Structure 1
């Protein structure tokens, strides 16, 4: 398999502050020789002086990040090996920037969850993981991340103690079972700073028989949902008009095909209205085409004029998607001002924005105890909760598990215009229950 043919892998780093996420990515880029010459020279000069290279500086790009020694923004890096191309999202570990982590994780094919072995509490019968490790794992579960690599870091500081490493893997396995994590989980003992098991196998972990990090990343399957196999779903972002006489008037509906395939002559229905028409022509950025599939940006014309505007959806005639106004959803709360059911919010789903009422907070997920707080009356910054909501206008939505593109939304505070939450539709109004 060559770089040209291997599927692109998007992966993120996750975990608590100072677990070594930025150092890990810097070391990975350095050891795989995928840095720019000036970056390599800077690190090599530090090593020649006997200094420890600052690998974290390769991804901590903001001045505030370098000054405070923490990651704030999501830093994206691109690199390739002979086997695969990669996009890395180095996400913040600090609880204050959980929203940035959610952004990076939303499109990831894999996540490296770092666990600092020196900060795990071994005083009890079982090791206790840090709250951010639990929170980030719960978010990865919500977002349906298919592959998780649990990298137990800083083993050089505990003399590569195999017993403690095994205890940490058992603690994470128990966590995965408690939150219902369905991802493929891989465990890896590393020292990001020293380079153990990053690109090459470490002589200091002879008891570990698995792959080092880079070969493991190269071998991971990319198992995204095949959106093209779903019924066609085309949210209209813009209506393009070219005024003229009735003989050459142009009315095109522009947007991105989020699911399925379309071809000239297909019958479609307009949601939520239910009007039907046939596709007269399909245009992509390269010109006219006979067919298109999920992921393409298109302009579509129909064989008859219909009342269609931004926020409507063109769907396959046999699409099972039924517009509704009541949904159950998981929310990751981003704002300093807690969720207040009496406050006015807007919900943005694909190209549609509508007023929404949070009718019930079913529960809030307590990441420390892994329990559901049933009596919660609000969601606070970085809380993960499940709610019932009702929109002013019907949505042509699926569940997030069916298709993330048509099952995700954001909430906007109407007073401040802040994006206050990211949401994932778990079920429609007829569902009996839902879990994280």
Structure 2
């Protein structure tokens, strides 16, 4: 079968795939991504690489010819190489890449795994996914368009994900008559931008992925270009991996107990080597032991290295569980606060103070973004003040965790320093990031152990401690019912106190407004104050609109199971607006009260509240009696 240039092309036989892999198993592996703006030719480039390096079987070529004819995307009747990579129906219909498409191929010199990543801004999260495991980036630029905003955004993400080697593929040079001045101008423009990103090497190559210029060999159309073609460069480039100089990093994924006589710790080695007899440290506890065996499905090993899935056994019975890290050499960082770069990937903004879940290899921890130090303009690299991060925005932030996290800075070890952020309610991935360094501000701050505990304080009051969280729209009747409950508890000789939203804003939260960010911080402060009341053995009645489920879930997590009671004061907005005891709805309707809950700021009603109070069907006195009855049933009073 002839190739695009009309030359005869000998196709590989349809061999067994396992034999194909075995033939290449001892070769060095290079992982790289293709990235850039929409329609720059990323999928076409990968398809061309597969075609010219003779990686396609007869049936694949036949399907490509058929699909190219039907797609009509190539006007001269040639092959549409992008169809080899764009697998989703929506991708083929629109001529774009949506998902990350991975392809494996090999030459006589090296094996490759290439990730074709999407160019559209709304799929930036997919591009970050592809970059997170890559050693090198092939960044495509349309020679007609030059450096675009998405080019800069992808370059920044490439840098953020620790990639320091970039191939600047100036594609579609045939459409600018292979003009060297166009090429030189784009290269100079990009290098000026890339200087501030920490990208170590930029190798610029003029090419036409469609026609094969400078893909596998030098093109006659660019006699002025003296460098290597793309494939020969990829075959010989050497990548420095900082983690190679670290000691052992072994995150434990599973405690392996097949029987009473065996306890092993299973996982994949993230960095370094482990040998039988090595002395290792288990973190975060800091206990040391010796490796007694390295077990695999195929038998025991004397030594194992990065990327291998093994089970380790230790000489001592020490506390090791999922999320622990077995290490040697310079031990990783253990901290509850850290500085990080974050790429936000959700339509809903990231709000400082809100609780999310951070996942790092087999570890997970509750996390708050305690401070956004600045966000970064991807075009100018300017540092901008910010109170939130929106979709696809990048920021430098301080993180506060609810438990110690074991990590290496991402610049030293990508496996031990890259994380994702998950919404605790929906379990959706909303962000990703890289850990920069630990914050030592909590190193000298410790919990003071007191002689009298919560249970003793509550027992002397004849009650159990509890946090009753009254939530509902403004005007629903929260404060009215909470005040009546407090009065009844007082008459019963119980110790209770109402934390009212309005009262808190006269003191503890007097510096906060009513934006989503300030609402999150307001509830955080109120919840921390309420926790102190619970620790004092009291029944605290918290009366706040508290519009977001996430913050109410955060408050629940501050106290022991059974101590948090969510009370949903359920009143329709129309009824609240009729009552309008403080005239707030009228002001909001007149435009004098922005960010008002229920009008221009959303309220998320509870889904599984312990108590639901219908203020339209019953009077406040009856509702307060229902709360008291619940407290009796639960043994709180």
The two structures share one fold, judged by TM-score above 0.5: yes
Residue of structure 2 equivalent to 1:201:
218
Deviation readout 1:161-201 (Å, 9 max, x if unpaired) = 1111110010011011132322x111111111122111222
Describe how 1:90-239 pairs up with structure 2 within 5 A: 90-120=116-146, 129-182=147-200, 184-227=201-244, 229-239=245-255
The correspondence for 1:364, drawn from 368, 372, 375, is 375
- Structure 1: which 5+ runs fail to align? 121-128, 432-436
CA distance in 1, matches of 2:300, 2:131: 35
The correspondence for 2:320, drawn from 308, 320, 340, is 308
The correspondence for 1:352, drawn from 357, 363, 381, is 363
Q: What is the CA distance between 1:243 and its match in structure 2?
A: 4.4
Describe how 1:292-303 pairs up with structure 2 within 5 A: 292-303=304-315
| Conservation of the 8 A alpha-carbon contact between 1:231 and 1:260 | yes
CA distance in 2, matches of 1:85, 1:21: 19
Residue of structure 1 equivalent to 2:482:
none
Change (3 A) 1:259 1:214: closer
Q: CA RMSD in A?
A: 2.2
Describe how 1:39-78 pairs up with structure 2 within 5 A: 39-41=60-62, 50-78=76-104
Change (3 A) 1:66 1:231: same
Structure holding more helix per residue: 2
Give SS of 2:332's match. coil
CA distance in 2, matches of 1:275, 1:86: 40
Give SS of 2:238's match. coil
Q: What is the CA distance between 1:430 and its match in structure 2?
A: 4.6
Structure holding more strand per residue: 1
CA distance in 1, matches of 2:262, 2:64: 58
Deviation readout 1:331-356 (Å, 9 max, x if unpaired) = 11111111111322011112111101
Could you tell which deviates more after superposition, 130-139 or 262-271? Answer: 262-271
Structure 1 length-normalised TM = 0.89
CA distance in 1, matches of 2:97, 2:424: 30
CA distance in 2, matches of 1:324, 1:99: 27
Could you tell which deviates more after superposition, 305-314 or 401-410? Answer: 305-314
| Conservation of the 8 A alpha-carbon contact between 2:243 and 2:412 | no
Q: What is the CA distance between 1:50 and its match in structure 2?
A: 4.5
Give SS of 2:242's match. coil
Residue of structure 1 equivalent to 2:40:
19
Q: What is the CA distance between 1:267 and its match in structure 2?
A: 2.5
Q: Does 1:393 align with 2:403?
A: yes
Could you tell which deviates more after superposition, 38-47 or 305-314? Answer: 38-47
Quick one: higher RCO (CA 8 Å, sep 6+), 1 or 2?
1
Following TM superposition, the consecutive aligned residue runs of length 4 or more in structure 1 with deviations greater than 3 angstroms are: 2-6, 41-50
The correspondence for 1:291, drawn from 297, 300, 303, is 303
Deviation readout 1:238-266 (Å, 9 max, x if unpaired) = 1122444xxxx322111122223222333
| Conservation of the 8 A alpha-carbon contact between 1:7 and 1:222 | no
Q: What is the CA distance between 1:115 and its match in structure 2?
A: 0.6
Describe how 1:404-419 pairs up with structure 2 within 5 A: 404-419=414-429
Structure 2 length-normalised TM = 0.62
Q: Does 1:403 align with 2:413?
A: yes
CA distance in 2, matches of 1:237, 1:83: 34
CA distance in 1, matches of 2:182, 2:315: 68
Equivalenced residue count is: 414
Change (3 A) 1:430 1:181: farther
Deviation readout 1:287-325 (Å, 9 max, x if unpaired) = 223332332222222222222221122222x53324111
Q: Does 1:271 align with 2:271?
A: no
Q: What is the CA distance between 1:411 and its match in structure 2?
A: 0.8
Q: Does 1:381 align with 2:402?
A: no
Give SS of 1:172's match. helix
Change (3 A) 1:218 1:243: closer
Change (3 A) 1:49 1:172: closer
Structure of higher CA gyration radius: 2
CA distance in 2, matches of 1:236, 1:32: 40
- Structure 2: which 5+ runs fail to align? 1-22, 442-637
